[in-house]
Amino acid sequence: MSLNDAKFMLGWVFSLAVVPIALGQAGPRSAADITVRLYSTRNVSSVVVTPIDATMQVCATCEKTLVSSRLQMKADLHSGRVQVDGKAMQRIFIEGQIRITTDDGQVSTGAGRWTISAAGDGLHVLLVLPSERYVMAVLSSEAAVDEPLESLKALAVVARSFALTNPDRHGAEGLCDSTHCQALRLTQVSEHIKEAVTATAGETLWWHGRQVAGYFTQSCGGMTEDAAALWGGAPKPWLTAHPDMYCQRRPSQWHTEFGEQELRGALAAEGWRLPAAIDGVRVVQQDASGRAQRVELSSGGQRLTISASSLRFAVDRSLGWNRLRSDRYQLRYENRRIEFEGKGYGHGVGLCQAGAAEMALEGKGYREILSFYFPGAGVQIGVNDKGWQRYEGRGWTLWTFRPPGEVLGVGDEAFAKALALFPSAKAMHPTVTMYPETELFRQAANEPGWVLAATRGEAIELQPEAVILRHGGWRPLLLHEFLHSLVEQEAGASTPLWLREGLVEALAGEHGDVQGMTAAQIDAALLRASSQQEAERAHRAACGLVQRLIAAQGIQTVRGWLRSGVPAGAVASQ
């Protein structure tokens, strides 16, 4: 959801205090801002920034200015400063949506808070973006184009779990954009990926009450890997080696071979020197999953033992990436040639993408996929839930993370009342989502934290219950949002916001006042209010204006304007 999204969001503004959004709070989270360093594995010395909708600051306390034209940025390696259109600066802050083109032609488009600085190795480009959009960027890079929806959802939960449990893996630079952390691609997000991320919003992996990291691999080759065996550290029971019969149904074999000279060259490039010709190579240690752990090379009576990951790294570096696709192989050394017969692609820990896609094609849901790849772990949003649950109201659907209690009954009444106030010939079925945390609501609705609810078409997003209860409770809120859904069905693209918002508030019998704002001023403030006070004022003004119009013209006439447009002069007299 970009900043210049053409669709309007209509919400109900708080009548009381702004809700403080806890930033940097400790403990498990369902959503947070994520910092990513772009181009982390390459040296980028210059970029072109094309603004789409962005402001810029040359220091943290400097004035924000609109970026209206393209900016050329270059690293000045001597001074460690950034040259922006020829002017040297310490760093530059950009807020909003931009397109970045690197000197080697890579194009990324994304929105968030950008910091661009220079270091000895070139430009450092950091982007802070909401975790839900971060997950979309990871899926845009890592998911197969024809990935089934359920395995895509499973991958979304895994990517989110990794990011929210490791947000500062590289300190202040957050996460890198390579497979060391999670590769990502900043681009237009497909509808398929949006659907998978939205359907699992805020869901992560939990093991015995603890939020845990998730990992994924392209193909485990029929047997997943144990995280502790590969990376060391304490045993992680949800990341153990186990057979994967789903991925066994898909081909994952690979073969590679090369001569002694190439092998010597690859090892020498990493600093290993062998005194004479290599006369033997064998795997001397395997882990429980059957992956090579140690490989021994003999040369003129000497023996050199190296780890399988060092061997893979050396070969990949000098003979091309992905020559050794995994450590799951048998090797043979004969006639001064080394031959590998392998299976799988990647480290093998956690979710196997090949197996997960197979499970989805066989009709398994994403939770079933996740519980297969992360034994004993479950999907949760917070400490005390079982992830998203669906409940059916009369004519509407509720998505919630906890038993619905009174909300279903109150919602049934509110929906019936909305239909009575604004009878609709068209069938509609709103979906109401109750978010457990303000940050997750803010990300899902793409709204500032001081909006109580947001409705887009039939989708109604709500702040956490505690916030709703402090600001009038369920009854008026659900009536208001159901009315929005109904009114929006009749509104055209050019229907002014004051009419859409004011009609809802007038029908719901809300309190309207504030004279002296023109319709155009109300619309501007409803579209992009800079503060809660301004938004609140605009809502009351819209309500008052529509109440006066209904009193003068009748509800049917005013309702008709949703489709036909507001006749010239109708507003001027109010």
Stretch that binds Zn ion, among 14-22, 236-244, 416-424, 491-499 (CB under 5 A): 236-244
Stretch that binds Zn ion, among 113-121, 131-139, 300-308, 344-352 (CB under 5 A): 344-352
Q: Are 28 and 382 in contact (CB under 8 A)?
A: yes
Nearest approach, Cβ of 355 to Zn ion (angstroms)? 3
Name the residue nearer to Zn ion (CB basis): 158 or 263.
158
Cα torsion angle, 160, 164, 169, 173, sign:
positive
Site string for Zn ion, 196-235 (x = CB under 5 A): ------------------------x---------------
Nearest approach, Cβ of 172 to Zn ion (angstroms)? 13
Name the residue nearer to Zn ion (CB basis): 252 or 299.
252
Name the residue nearer to Zn ion (CB basis): 13 or 352.
352
Name the residue nearer to Zn ion (CB basis): 348 or 512.
348
Window 514-573: residues binding Zn ion (CB under 5 A): none
Written as one letter, the residue type at 137 is: A
Which residues have a Cβ under 8 Å from the Cβ of 29 and sit 6 or more positions away? Answer: 164, 211, 437, 439
What is the DSSP secondary structure assignment for residue 66, as one 8-state letter?
Answer: E
Nearest approach, Cβ of 342 to Zn ion (angstroms)? 14
# residues near Zn ion by CB under 5 A = 8
Measured distance CA(174)–CA(176) in Å, rounded: 7
Window 40-69: residues binding Zn ion (CB under 5 A): none
Measured distance CA(391)–CA(84) in Å, rounded: 54
Burial 313-323 (b: 16+ CB within 10 A, else e): ebbeebbeeeb
Name the residue nearer to Zn ion (CB basis): 54 or 220.
220
Nearest approach, Cβ of 344 to Zn ion (angstroms)? 7
**Alpha helices, DSSP H only, in 422-531?**
438-445, 465-470, 474-490, 497-507, 519-527
Which whole-number Å values give the CA distances from 215 to 158, 200, 371, in the listed order?
6, 17, 13
Window 101-120: residues binding Zn ion (CB under 5 A): none
Name the residue nearer to Zn ion (CB basis): 178 or 521.
178
Nearest approach, Cβ of 113 to Zn ion (angstroms)? 20
Q: Are 133 and 443 in contact (CB under 8 A)?
A: yes
Name the residue nearer to Zn ion (CB basis): 352 or 451.
352
What is the DSSP secondary structure assignment for residue 504, as one 8-state letter?
Answer: H
Q: Are 343 and 286 in contact (CB under 8 A)?
A: no
Q: Given candidates 143, 181, 377, 414, which one binds Zn ion under the rule CB under 5 A? A: 181
Site string for Zn ion, 411-430 (x = CB under 5 A): --------------------
Nearest approach, Cβ of 167 to Zn ion (angstroms)? 12
Name the residue nearer to Zn ion (CB basis): 308 or 352.
352
Beta bridge partners of 50: 99
Nearest approach, Cβ of 285 to Zn ion (angstroms)? 23
Name the residue nearer to Zn ion (CB basis): 355 or 382.
355
Nearest approach, Cβ of 364 to Zn ion (angstroms)? 14
Residue for token pair 């752990």: 293
Nearest approach, Cβ of 339 to Zn ion (angstroms)? 24
Q: How many CB atoms lie within 10 A of CB 132?
A: 26
Measured distance CA(297)–CA(317) in Å, rounded: 19
Rg (CA), the chain: 29
Nearest approach, Cβ of 330 to Zn ion (angstroms)? 18
Written as one letter, the residue type at 265 is: G
Nearest approach, Cβ of 179 to Zn ion (angstroms)? 8
C-alpha distance across the termini of the chain, in Å: 36
Which residue number is nearest to Zn ion in terms of Cβ? 247
What is the DSSP secondary structure assignment for residue 232, as one 8-state letter?
Answer: -
Nearest approach, Cβ of 170 to Zn ion (angstroms)? 6
Name the residue nearer to Zn ion (CB basis): 367 or 539.
367
Beta bridge partners of 399: 390, 433
Nearest approach, Cβ of 248 to Zn ion (angstroms)? 7
- Give one DSSP letter per residue of 375-436, joined into a string: TT-EEESSTT--S-EEEE-SS-EEEESS--TTHHHHHHHHHHHHHHHS--SS----EEEE-S
Which whole-number Å values give the CA distances from 205 to 323, 352, 389, 396, 563, in the listed order?
33, 15, 16, 29, 47
Nearest approach, Cβ of 203 to Zn ion (angstroms)? 22
Site string for Zn ion, 238-277 (x = CB under 5 A): ------x--x------------------------------
Best CA proximity match to 440, nearest among 382, 367, 511? 382
User: Dihedral of the CA atoms 162, 163, 166, 170 (nearest 10)?
Assistant: 130
Name the residue nearer to Zn ion (CB basis): 254 or 399.
254
Cα torsion angle, 114, 115, 120, 123, sign:
positive
Name the residue nearer to Zn ion (CB basis): 372 or 399.
372
Assign 3-class secondary structure to 185-222: CCCCCCHHHHHHHHHCCCCEEEECCEEECCCEECECCC
Stretch that binds Zn ion, among 13-21, 181-189, 541-549, 566-574 (CB under 5 A): 181-189
Stretch that binds Zn ion, among 66-74, 198-206, 353-361, 566-574 (CB under 5 A): 353-361
| Tokens of residue 462, six digits | 């709500």
Name the residue nearer to Zn ion (CB basis): 251 or 554.
251
Q: Given candidates 180, 208, 282, 394, which one binds Zn ion under the rule CB under 5 A? A: 180
Q: Given candidates 355, 382, 387, 430, which one binds Zn ion under the rule CB under 5 A? A: 355
Measured distance CA(226)–CA(242) in Å, rounded: 8
Window 157-176: residues binding Zn ion (CB under 5 A): 176
Name the residue nearer to Zn ion (CB basis): 220 or 483.
220
Q: Which residues contact Zn ion by CB under 5 A?
A: 176, 180-181, 220, 244, 247, 352, 355
